Amino acid sequence: MQAVSGGTIDPASFKAGMRHLAGGVCIVTSLTSAGLRAGMTATAVCAVSAEPPVLLICVHRDTRSHGVIGEAGVFAVNVLGMADQELAQRFAGTMAGEERFDDARWTQLLTGAPVLETALASFDCRIVQAVEVGTHRIFLGTVHAVRLGRGPHRPLLYANRRYGGFSASFAMPGSEEEL
């Protein structure tokens, strides 16, 4: 069935549709009061406002990261490039906790949330609002620091259960980059 009048669609139909929406892949991180790092792969990341700078992340309430982020009140969003595809898989896989952070270089900005040195960009945030919606909680964070990577701009995307790259076909007028 394509549409149900008056009701909502079933979860499987919702997921089948959403699979077509390509998302930029990020690793969202935070840390416990004991200083232990937590992080997970996330595509549900969205810019909300530039003045003041606010972004949102949407986190399943069953994840370990959910509890850590909520308690810490801070998180970092690390925007991944193609070169970090393995990290994306690791931060969504069975390996848990601190182990996920092995074999990559991490630093921190203001809040202490882990910032990936090879990320295309990292945003260091403090939570200003949280809204529970179904299985997830939306955390809205004000951005207190940003770190821009120095590597090539090759963002990692995810769609239809696959990772892939972005190929530009049209440059917006005024864009500094040549295609």
Ligand X SMILES: Cc1cc2nc3c(=O)[nH]c(=O)nc-3n(C[C@H](O)[C@H](O)[C@H](O)COP(=O)(O)O)c2cc1C
Cβ proximity to ligand X: between 60 and 126 the closer is 60
Q: Indicate which single residue of 63, 85, 108, 142 sits in contact with ligand X (rule: CB under 6 A).
A: 63
By the 8 A CB rule, do 109 and 76 touch?
yes
Cβ proximity to ligand X: between 139 and 179 the closer is 139
Among positions 141-160, residues that touch ligand X (CB under 6 A) are 158
> 27: which strand partners?
41, 78
Stretch that binds ligand X, among 47-55, 60-68, 139-147, 170-178 (CB under 6 A): 60-68
| Residue span 77-106 as binding mask against ligand X, x where in contact by CB under 6 A, dash where not | ---------------x---x----------
The Cα–Cα gap between 109 and 131 comes to: 26
Cβ proximity to ligand X: between 60 and 144 the closer is 60
HSE, CB side, 13 Å, CA atoms: give it for residue 97: 5
Q: E strands of 10-92, at which residues?
A: 23-24, 26-31, 37-42, 45-50, 53-60, 74-79
